[in-house]
Structure 1
Amino acid sequence: MTVKKVSLLVIALLIADQVLKIWVKTHMHLDEAIIVFPDWFQLRFIENNGAAFGMHIASGGGFDWGKLLLGIFRIVLAGGIAWLIGRLLRQRKKTPTGVIVGLALIFAGAVGNILDSAFYGLLFSESTPYSVARFGGHYAGFMMGKVVDMFYFPLFQWNNVPRFLRFLVDSNNYFFGAIFNLADAYISVAVVYLLLFQYKFLDKQ
């Protein structure tokens, strides 16, 4: 696989991620849901502050240092993955195509969410449950934007969930209540694929 092909793949993945996020951001109210398949698949617009474990370290002016540190970490991580892809392409001619594609998916996912944090606070007015975000607003600084999530699969209700398994359900006790975006899906699919099907190559490295 060539650098050009990997670059085109990453660009295509980023365009798909950003087009969907911008459409959701500009056409849906915050927490609005569109039923795609009844009972198990919805497009539900939420925004995620993006700080790890909900961390919010505020100064007197309310600046979110936790979010900034997470953004910097993501940028460093994405840079490391880009370097690794380039190294594998240049120095290891026998690198399986699947490994390169998997790393490209992880890179695209990381960059997709970085773009949200970096620029959405500069490009959009703030979303509320009663107003649709539009271009040209300004509600946060650079790296302070919110990540747009929309895929929601409330598979089934699980009542009386043990406390230690609460992370598996949402506030309405729906199993797998996490809401995620395309960038998250890229990363998750790639990690599972690499661990299941490319573990021999990874182990050798």
Structure 2
Amino acid sequence: MRRIQSLGGWFLAIVLPVLVADQVLKIWIKLSFSIGQQRDLIPGLIELQFIENEGMAFGWALPGMAGKLLLTSFRLVAAVGLGFYLKRLLKDGAHLGLLACISFIWAGAIGNIIDSAVYGALFSRSSWGLIAEFLGEGGGYAPILMGNVVDMFHFTARWPSWWPIDGMRSYEIFPPIWNLADAAISIGVITLLISQRRFFAEPVEKEISESATSSEEGEA
């Protein structure tokens, strides 16, 4: 497998495809569903359910308009920081798995930034029984940087009746509603946590190997 050497290469390989899929799905949901509208994907397991949230992944939020602006600003700073971090990792010859994880996290961060930054200005407000319009006559529902994030995936599977923890029976296994950007962030973070020893060991092993090679050449 040929190693991708540039930031642009990783953007094209992972970030851009995730962004395109995330935004195409969100725009389709926004222009096809009213708030709360549902559609089964796999009955009893997962459905589409359109909601909008003002906060972070899986609907977590900071209160008030100031909290919303702070959160969007934080997302912007984080996305820029992730881009610089990925560039540094490339320069340092980091593990391919680490580069892929950071790329997925970067893609997810940018995907949700797009919603927060511009959806409020581009779409009319979605509500119960009312589907939004793109660039409608009434204008957008919020100023730049104050838009809501579009979420749509909902796991409907419930804990079975034989589950040993009494208080969890019949409740949904994973209630939050999420989107592809959230999934990309989760994939990157979880894989990074599971494989961090392998991902971060490679530069050290490479340095030891190069040092040993240099020593052998010096002795020769």
TM-score by length of structure 1 reads 0.85
Q: Secondary structure at the match of 2:16?
A: helix
Question: Counterpart in 1 of 2:175?
Answer: 177
> SS in structure 2 opposite 1:23?
helix
How far apart in 2 are the matches of 1:154 and 1:177? 7
1:6-155 pair list within 5 angstroms: 6-8=10-12, 9-50=14-55, 53-57=60-64, 64-90=65-91, 92-93=92-93, 95-136=94-135, 137-155=139-157
Structure 1 runs (4+) deviating above 4 angstroms are 157-162
Q: What residue identity is the alignment partner of 1:143?
A: L
1:98–1:198 CA contact under 8 A, matched in 2: no
One-letter amino acid of the structure 2 residue matched with residue 178 of structure 1: P
Mapped to 2, the partners of 1:18 and 1:65 lie a distance apart of: 26
Match of 2:199 in 1: 201
Deviation sequence 1:115-166 (CA, Å, 0-9, x none): 000000000000001111110131100111110001111111579975xx8x
SS at match of 2:174: coil
Point out the structure with the larger helix share. 2
Name the Cα RMSD after superposition: 2.3
Give the whole-Å Cα distance in 2 for the aligned partners of 1:46 and 1:86: 35
Distance 2:60 2:46 in 1: 26
Larger Rg: 2
Contact 1:30 1:130 in 2 (8 A): yes
Say which SS state the counterpart of residue 151 (structure 1) adopts.
Answer: strand
1:60 is aligned to none
Q: Percent identity?
A: 40
Structure 1, unpaired ranges of 5+:
58-63
Q: Distance in 1 between matches of 2:35 and 2:76?
A: 27
Conserved in 1, the CA contact under 8 Å of 2:101 and 2:188?
yes
Cα 1:25–1:10 change in 2 (3 A) is: same
Measured at CA, do residues 86 and 179 of structure 1 come closer, stay the same or move farther in structure 2, by a change above 3 Å?
same
How many Å separate the matches in 1 of 2:153 and 2:78? 25
Distance in 2 between residues matched to 1:27 and 1:195, nearest whole Å: 37
Tell me the distance in 2 between the aligned counterparts of 1:200 and 1:41: 33
What is the deviation of 1:11? 1.3
